[in-house]
Amino acid sequence: MSRESIDVLARARRALCLTAGAMMMATVASAQTPQAEGSRWRIGAATGGYVPFSALIRAADSNDTRLGAGPAFSLEAQYQAASSVSAYVNGTLAFPTMRLGSSIRPAVVGPSNQVMLVAGTAGVMLTADWLGSPFRPTLRIGGGLKWYSLDLTGATNQLRATADIGLGFRGVGLGPIDVMAEVRYLPGSFDQGKLPTRGIAPQAQRQNDLMFSIGFGIRP
């Protein structure tokens, strides 16, 4: 990753931490039991893009092996425990491609460089209403697993742990339907030993991913 990209990611993390702290304080202060007439369940669906920021294998000649951006889709179920606090379970599917660098064996070809990434996470979703409707900021804090399905000769699928941190907003006041937009940060690692490598000692490489999504939710 270039120095410019590292600086941008560092600034994004600082902003995320500051915003998360402010939202958590405001949310805890305003949390209360939800009104009885509304459903506590919310079912949501979203679509967007998956953007990885870290190389799978860093090469000495800068010809890194890395994943490229791709489309992403997710489904989510939430249970509202208080007016501003919900528990969630999320399933995400992304379809990046792999760019092969100089640390991959030269004879490796196909059948394709496609990768299917499946993420399953759970945690807490905080919704702050201190800015008022119709738009309310959201913060998710959770964790889970990422499964990499690799369609590459000599590669092995793998399951890795991940955190799930997201910032977004939700449009309210539309009856049982709401709209949302969110940026999620899913840091984890990737086992280089699952790839057909050459000339390196495989290790667990840090893998930082972003997911941008827009979608809607329904309260049944």
Q: What is the pLDDT of residues 114-151, one digit of tens each?
A: 999 999 999 999 988 765 567 789 999 999 999 999 99
DSSP code for 36: T
Lowest mean pLDDT among 32-41, 93-102, 152-161: 32-41
pTM for this entry: 0.78
Report the percentage of the chain scoring pLDDT > 90: 60
Could you please report the per-residue DSSP string of 75-109? EEEEEEEETTEEEEEEEEEE--BEE--TTB-TT--
pLDDT in tens, 179-208: 999 999 999 999 999 999 988 889 999 999
Distances (CA, A) of 169 to 138, 178, 180: 5, 10, 6
Q: What domains can you pick out in the chain, each with its CATH number?
A: 3-218 (2.40.160.20)
pLDDT of 166 higher than 50: yes
